[in-house]
Amino acid sequence: MEWSIVIVDDLKRDRDKLAERLRASFSGTDTLRLSCRESGESLLEEFYPGAFQLAFLDVCMGGMNGVELAERL
């Protein structure tokens, strides 16, 4: 199965840590397509319905926060 996941967090360290954990948790039978963004605005520039199956959104970010982004998605 292919998984398409996006991580939106303004802190690179936190994006990298979560991405590392996700990559480590997928088995050899699953395919992971992982995208990392530093802001909700950058995600919305290229987002289309069905682009991702799962989104990890940081609640506290400058500009648009994760709750606002979730509402827009």
Query: What range does the domain containing 62 cover?
Result: 2-72
Mean confidence (pLDDT) of the chain: 94
CATH number of the structural domain spanning residue 17: 3.40.50.2300
pTM of structure: 0.92
If one compares 17 and 28, the residue with the highest pLDDT of the two is: 17
pLDDT digits (tens, 9 = 90+) for 32-47: 999 999 999 999 999 9
Structure confidence at residue 1 as a pLDDT band (50, 70, 90): confident
Number of domains in the chain: 1
Question: Residue 15 has what DSSP assignment?
Answer: H
Whether 72 has a pLDDT exceeding 80, the answer reads yes
